[in-house]
Structures are given as structure tokens and as C-alpha cells.
Amino acid sequence: MKKLITEHDVVKIYQSGIRVIPFTSEVIFTPSAKDKIKQLGIKISKREEASIIDPIENPHEEMDKSKVIAIGSDHTGFKLKNFAAKILSEHGFFIIDVGTYDENACDYPDFAYAVAKKVKIKEAAFGVIIDATGNPSAITANKLLGIRAANCYNEFTAKSAREHNNANVLTLGAKSIGEETVRSIIETWLKTNFAGGRHQKRLDKIAGIERQILGNNNS
């Protein structure tokens, strides 16, 4: 059965924070919906899998949060952010794009914090943040209790960050790595699960330090 997406549906998606919509051949956009997508700057990415846009009726409550990723960047990472969002949508993820939305100079802490907060309050399963090197965004994100941000620059660091550290935020450097490296990092990140075991004991110690230093109400 074909699913019809109206202008009203598009507005609801936008209000939920989603900026990239994966869809299948089973989805039909009305002309007014297409116009609204262009007006709001939402991107759409075609997928072969069926039934990936079902949460459209109530994005905040019904969406599988494991398929939601928050993404943000400063001005230096703007172009790479759009590239990363495209990769994520190709893998069936809904994207919450917190900005920035152009290449005008801005401050990385604002966007790093916005991404990390989405992960902390569980509106997104993971976060991706991009600046010049990835380091300042990782430093910022790691100020929030429960955030484990890792600056990755190859497949090995991405695999280790997920498998050993259960990292929930990935930071990337737009001036230190290229698009194909970013693709390999993201795809490695997505397919790697936390190994648990001895690694959980170490994460528990980190969590204990967080609670001692930051307290339970850190935002």
C-alpha cells in the first residue's frame, strides 16, 4: 500500500527536528509536500527497504530512537556535515540537524552541546559533531554526564570507540580527514556494537567519576 505524505506531515517532521527523511518507493509526496520540503530545507534520501517512514504520524513518540542520530557542526564542518547526513540517511537513519545551516562563522560549543544534549535526553541514539579537527567538539560534548564522545580519524579508532568505550557521540575533523575516510568511519561506527565484559567494568568507573565530579543533575 502506498503511503501519502502531505504538507502537514512535512511540517510535523520539521517540528520534530528531523532534517533528512529516508523514504521508499512505497511513499508518495503530494506537490504541496514537495514545495514545503524545499521551503524548509529538508533533504530526502531514497531507500529500497520498506516501512521506514511509518513514524511520520507522531515523530516524537512513535519513532524508533535507535534509528535517530543528531548531527551538528560549526562553519568549518558545514559541508562535511551534509555529506555525513547523506551517508546516515542511506543507512536508514532519521537525522536531527541542530545546525549550523551555512558557512558563516560561528562557535563550535553551541552545536556540540546541542548534539550532546539530544543524546543525553535520549531524543537520539547517537550524535555526530564536525569541526576543524574534532577535538574541541569532543571536549565540549564530554562535559555532559553520560556522554562518551570520541574523536575518530580511521576505522580502527571508530571500532575501538564503540566496541571498548561504548561511545555515543562521534566527532570528526573536516580539515584532517576526507569524505571517503568519513564514510568508512561512519559505516564502521554503525556496524560495531559494545563488547561489554571487562570494558563495562571500566565504563562503570568512568561513570563513578562523573557522578562524583559532575553530580546527577548535569545538563
Structure confidence at residue 121 (pLDDT):
93
User: Could you say which DSSP state residue 217 is in?
Assistant: T
Q: Which amino acid makes up residue 110?
A: D
* pLDDT surpasses 60 at 36: yes
Q: What is the pTM of this model?
A: 0.75
Taking each helix axis as running N to C, give the angle between helix 7-15 and helix 31-40, from 0 to 180 degrees, rounded to the nearest 10. 30
Structure confidence at residue 37 (pLDDT):
86
176: three-class secondary structure by DSSP: coil
Q: Which three cell numbers, joined as nine digits, stand for 116?
A: 550532546
Name the catalytic one among 60, 75, 91, 164.
164
Q: Domains in the chain, ordered, with CATH?
A: 1-56 (no CATH), 63-219 (3.40.1400.10)
Look up cell 558563516; give the residue.
104
Question: What is the distance in angstroms between the CA of the first residue and the CA of the last residue of the chain?
Answer: 44
Is 75 annotated in the active site? no
| Band of pLDDT at residue 119, cut at 50, 70 and 90 | very high
Residues 6 or more apart whose CB falls under 8 angstroms from that of 125 comprise: 65, 66, 67, 68, 69, 119, 168
* Higher-scoring residue by pLDDT: 161, 98: 161
| Band of pLDDT at residue 29, cut at 50, 70 and 90 | confident
Query: Do the beta carbons of residue 131 and residue 97 sit within 8 Å?
Result: no
| Residue pLDDT, tens place only, 173-215 | 999 999 999 999 999 999 999 999 999 999 999 999 988 887 6
